[in-house]
Amino acid sequence: MKDNNPRTHKILDKLPIFGSILATGIFVALFFIIMSIADLVFEAFLPADLCSGPAILTAFIITTLLFMFWFRGETKGLWLGGDIKGAVTVTIMYIVYWILSVALGIVISGDRYGFPKLADINNAVSAGFMEETMIRGFILMLLFRKKRTPRMIITSMIVTSVIFAMLHIPNLFAGADPGATVMQVASSIATGFCFAMLYVCSGNIIPAIVIHILHDIIAFSALDATEGGVMVAAVDAGSWVNLLLCYILAAICFFYLKKENIMNRTIEIWDKKWTTTP
């Protein structure tokens, strides 16, 4: 079989949603296996608290290359193809959100910011590559393989955002403040939708990864607010303001995507990402 000839994927073709879940599970398992092996390798010459970032980056590259190989002839995969320009507007929205969030946090709660530690940057890189690849990258990519309607796109974005938020619940067992964790879960639904927006509107996972990393670095730069990548500061007025800003940003993204010309352009991007006819 030539590489430019599409493979046959019987389960995905007959049962798209079940097939997408199954395939996502397989690629996520591969991701963790490769990450674990890479982590052992990096432990030989890097400090233990700095191994996760390089290991996850390695897993990202290898797993997405395997994804492109498995679907060769159909798609260029998660980080090739698409149109990164589609993420520009959402990126500008995010920059405005960051400015307002930090400024209001300083004014309302007296938040203090400093340079993030190397370990915090490592945690941000780890979260950005791992969470975006697994939660949005594989799931949305596979769900859009055969069905790319406005309803399917928006529903898939909301579902992955809820999954993303639920993954923050275990922070309760890592020393996080209970109230702050509940707030983080609630805000993650909104920020998750915005991360998905970056991916969906560009057809490329890289913008979502970059913005996610920067988002976490800014959060980890707040002195006395986080420790080891989890929220330890109690909920205050600034937390509620930030939550409100998150949902305002998500609402703006939602209505922006609902615009006919933006949705049509997004569907066109994904029609090119998947070369087979829906």
pLDDT digits (tens, 9 = 90+) for 195-223: 999 999 999 999 999 999 999 999 888 86
Distance (Å) of CA 258 to CA 134, 170, 252: 25, 33, 10
Residue 88, pLDDT > 50, answer: yes
Judge contact between 213 and 128, C-beta under 8 A. yes
Residue 277, pLDDT > 60, answer: no
* Residue among 121, 109, 110 nearest 219 (CA): 121
E-strand ranges in the chain read: 226-227, 230-231
* Residue among 139, 271, 115, 265 nearest 205 (CA): 139
Residue 239, pLDDT > 90, answer: no
Identity (one letter) of the amino acid at 183? M
Distance (Å) of CA 174 to CA 51, 148, 169, 228, 246: 19, 39, 10, 9, 24
> By CB neighbour count within 10 A (0-12 exposed, 13-18 middle, 19+ buried), where does 208 fall?
buried
Judge contact between 38 and 55, C-beta under 8 A. yes
Q: Which pLDDT band, with edges at 50, 70 and 90, does 95 fall under? A: very high
Residue 4, pLDDT > 60, answer: no
Q: What average pLDDT does the segment 107-123 reach? A: 85
Identity (one letter) of the amino acid at 121? I
Q: What average pLDDT does the segment 20-45 reach? A: 93
Identity (one letter) of the amino acid at 54? P
C-alpha to C-alpha distance for 124 and 132, rounded to whole angstroms: 12
Q: Which pLDDT band, with edges at 50, 70 and 90, does 119 fall under? A: confident
Q: Which residue has the higher pLDDT, 34 or 235?
A: 34
Domain spans of the chain? Answer: 78-273
C-alpha to C-alpha distance for 43 and 163, rounded to whole angstroms: 31
Element (H, E) at 250: helix 237-258
Q: Which residue has the tokens 């949005």?
A: 136
Q: Which pLDDT band, with edges at 50, 70 and 90, does 2 fall under? A: very low
Inter-axis angle of helices 260-273 and 237-258, nearest 10: 80
pLDDT for 29 equals 95
Identity (one letter) of the amino acid at 135? I
